[in-house]
């Protein structure tokens, strides 16, 4: 699959004009909501783990030296905490561009802290996209992040802000925190 997914996402899960949609964020969408939203709530999705396995040549790296950003990997029994935003469908023009580097929209059940649930959309970069880098030891991921920089800034900023955002949710993500620890050793 091509890395640029804008047109694919415009055809996936057609959105009804004027009907708000929940969007789940598990990476930069937790700490960088650069779009208008109607509501924002902590949420989680089940059966998925956050991993720094997606390449970023458009935001946190370059085509010659891609950075690493998170995607979701299916994992039985896992629970990924993040932030859910209730948004107007017109916001997806911006989001599809922002998440264009291999991410596709998927429907998922969202679980809120008060026990309520809703269906929502989530962007996931699957292993068949051209920018997918896959698994690597956390120390190697940290080294790649330490030396990567793109139009949106240093890759390390993304990692450090994500780790802080996860802590602010009261969550513990060993994968992210191990990479953060190794990154701080490099710096």
What tokens does 154 get? 């240093």
Is the pLDDT reported for residue 153 higher than 80? Answer: yes
Q: Are 48 and 80 in contact, with CB atoms under 8 Å apart?
A: yes
Strand partners, 84: 24, 41
Banded pLDDT at 166 (limits 50, 70, 90): very high
Q: Are 101 and 126 in contact, with CB atoms under 8 Å apart?
A: no
Q: Would you state the CATH architecture of domain 6-186?
A: Roll (3.10)
Specify the higher pLDDT residue, 165 or 186: 165
Residue ranges covered by each domain of the chain: 6-186
| pLDDT for residue 9 | 67
> Over the stretch 4-41, which tens digit does the pLDDT of each residue have?
876 776 777 777 888 999 999 999 999 999 999 999 99
Banded pLDDT at 1 (limits 50, 70, 90): very low
Q: What is the four-CA torsion angle of 37, 35, 108, 46, rounded to 10 degrees?
A: -90
**Exposed, middle or buried: residue 12 (CB in 10 Å: 0-12, 13-18, 19+)?**
middle
The Cα angle at residue 138 between residues 58 and 81, in degrees rounded to 5: 75
Active site residues: 99
> How far apart (Å, rounded) are the C-alpha atoms in residues 164 and 143?
19
């Amino acid at each position: 699959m091509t890395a640029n997914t804008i047109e694919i996402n415009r055809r996936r899960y057609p959105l009804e004009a004027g009907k708000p949609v929940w969007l789940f964020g598990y990476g930069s969408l937790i700490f960088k909501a650069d779009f208008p939203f109607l509501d924002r709530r902590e949420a989680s999705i089940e059966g998925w783990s956050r991993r720094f396995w997606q390449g970023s040549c458009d935001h946190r790296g370059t085509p010659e030296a891609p950075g690493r950003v998170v995607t979701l990997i299916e994992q039985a029994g896992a629970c990924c905490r993040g932030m859910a935003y209730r948004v107007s469908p017109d916001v997806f023009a911006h989001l599809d561009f922002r998440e264009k580097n291999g991410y596709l929209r998927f429907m998922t059940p969202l679980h809120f802290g008060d026990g309520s649930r809703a269906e929502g959309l989530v962007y996931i970069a699957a292993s068949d996209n051209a920018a997918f880098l896959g698994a690597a030891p956390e120390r190697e991921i940290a080294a790649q992040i330490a030396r990567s920089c793109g139009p949106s800034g240093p890759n390390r900023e993304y990692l450090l802000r994500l780790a802080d955002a996860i802590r602010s949710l009261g969550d513990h993500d060993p994968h992210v925190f191990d990479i953060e620890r190794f990154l701080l050793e490099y710096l």
